[in-house]
Amino acid sequence: MSQQTAETSDAYTIVVFRGSTSKPLRFSFPRKFLRKLLILAAILIVADLLVVSHYVIRTGEVWQLSAFRAEAMGAREQTAAFSAAIDDLKKRLSVMGEVNQRLRVMLGIDNTKPTGDLANGRGGDDGPLPDGKENVPGVSPVMPGMEQRQQISEMRDSQQGEADFTTESIEEIAQQVRESIDALVREAAQQEEALQNLTQIAEQRSTQWASTPSIWPVRGWVTSAFGPRVSPFTEKPAWHDGLDIGASPNAPVQAPALGRVVTVAFDSKMGNMVKLDHGYGIETVYGHLAKPLVKEGQRVKRGDVVALVGSTGLSTGPHLHYMVKKNGQALDPTKFILD
């Protein structure tokens, strides 16, 4: 009896009553078993809590990583866009540099040998090579498969460049962008300064071109050229310091360039005459005029009528005696006629 009581005290008993007529059900659980079961349950609960907390922490890290990855991708896309824009600016600055060089060559202020298309103009009809000659001097022969190997090499370089781009850090790319921008700013400043200098030179040259005689002063025919001739008055060899242009009486005489009237006078040999100062040491003289149509100090431009053709002074008939002087020396007027 005492042994049964001891066993009962070491266990927990659960009694289930099923009614007044049925015998109750008894379930006995040893204390040690329940204690072990509770310990196991506590361990499982703690393990579940650890798993859940770890999951929550990892989920937060994953979200942070995803956000950082999205931010990094956005920054990389922006950097790629900046790089493309910088490359475009480089190309435009390169074109500006080529235009700058062309203008310098055209304006005659740069004697250096031009590069690119300016120095490599070629053309003509191509024909077959002579027998026995397969190679063109200065051009290396193309071996079979060389073009394909070159394409493969270019593809490999391109793939390697893409791999490098994906492995570079954003800080390094940003530093490269900043350096490229600084270089572009410096190059743009240089190009701007060069273009300003070219603008000033072009304006000066434009004024000089506008002041340089370049058209026939009167429409007619040449009756006596510049240089040695037989004088129509003495019939002896003489030097003719101008160009005689035959024309109908009262034909309009035009100014060949921009200038200022410095002399309107009568000369015993030249008759009625007009002298224009075009600047840059260039003067033009018009003789044997029927009537001057300008006054001293008047400004004229190319094409303005300054006088009418006549036969005043020492003359054999209606014509214009046209002279061009540079720094006081008479030059052949035909060298200053472009039309």
Segment 70-99 mean pLDDT = 79
In tens, the pLDDT along 32-67 reads 878 888 899 999 999 989 998 888 888 888 888 888
**How many CA atoms within 13 Å lie on the side-chain side of 13?**
10
* Confidence (pLDDT) at 156: 47
pTM for the full model? 0.49
Segment 272-293 mean pLDDT = 95
122: pLDDT confidence band, cut at 50, 70 and 90? very low
* Confidence (pLDDT) at 87: 81
Amino acid identity for residue 329 in this structure = Q
Amino acid identity for residue 325 in this structure = K
* Confidence (pLDDT) at 117: 47
**How many CA atoms within 13 Å lie on the side-chain side of 87?**
6
Contact 98, 110 (CB under 8 A): no
Grouping H, G, I as helix, E, B as strand and the rest as coil, residue 124 is coil
Segment 201-217 mean pLDDT = 85
Segment 145-174 mean pLDDT = 51
Residues 6 or more apart whose CB falls under 8 angstroms from that of 207 comprise 258
CATH architecture for the domain at 221-336: Distorted Sandwich (2.70)
Is the pLDDT higher at 320 or at 123? Answer: 320
* Sequence spans of domains, the chain: 2-81, 221-336
166: pLDDT confidence band, cut at 50, 70 and 90? very low
